[in-house]
Amino acid sequence: MAVSVESQLQIDNPEVRVTQWRLPPGSATGHHRHEMDYIIVPVSGGEMTIVAPDGTRSKAQLQAGQSYFRKAGVEHDVLNETYIDIVFLEVELKP
């Protein structure tokens, strides 16, 4: 049985959308494309597996409180192949 990713919309106004994401062990976001520039703010540390559109896999280390920025257009699937929850805030910057 697939494990579901949990999301909680915290802010959605004309300037920004902030969503808290929780990826339990064994979950995946599904392939998606980011339509806006975004910032990820890890709430917990952990290791995510990133799958590119061509199937290439890479690991991304998250450290609580260590944010990073990406431009719109990023496409990937994000998997939690660990034994702990991964929690982060996604801050999308609206045009």
What's the mean per-residue pLDDT of the chain?
96
The residues near 77 (Cβ < 8 Å, ≥ 6 apart) are 28, 29, 30, 31, 32, 50, 51
Spatial contact of 25 and 84, defined as CB atoms under 8 Å apart: yes
Whole-model pTM above 0.85? yes
Predicted pLDDT of residue 3: 84
Predicted pLDDT of residue 62: 96
Q: Which domains does the chain have, with CATH numbers?
A: 6-93 (2.60.120.10)
Predicted pLDDT of residue 1: 54
Centre a 10 Å sphere on the Cβ of residue 74 and count the other Cβ atoms it contains: 14
Predicted pLDDT of residue 32: 97
Mean pLDDT of 23-41: 97
Cα–Cα nearest to 83, from 27, 21, 4:
27
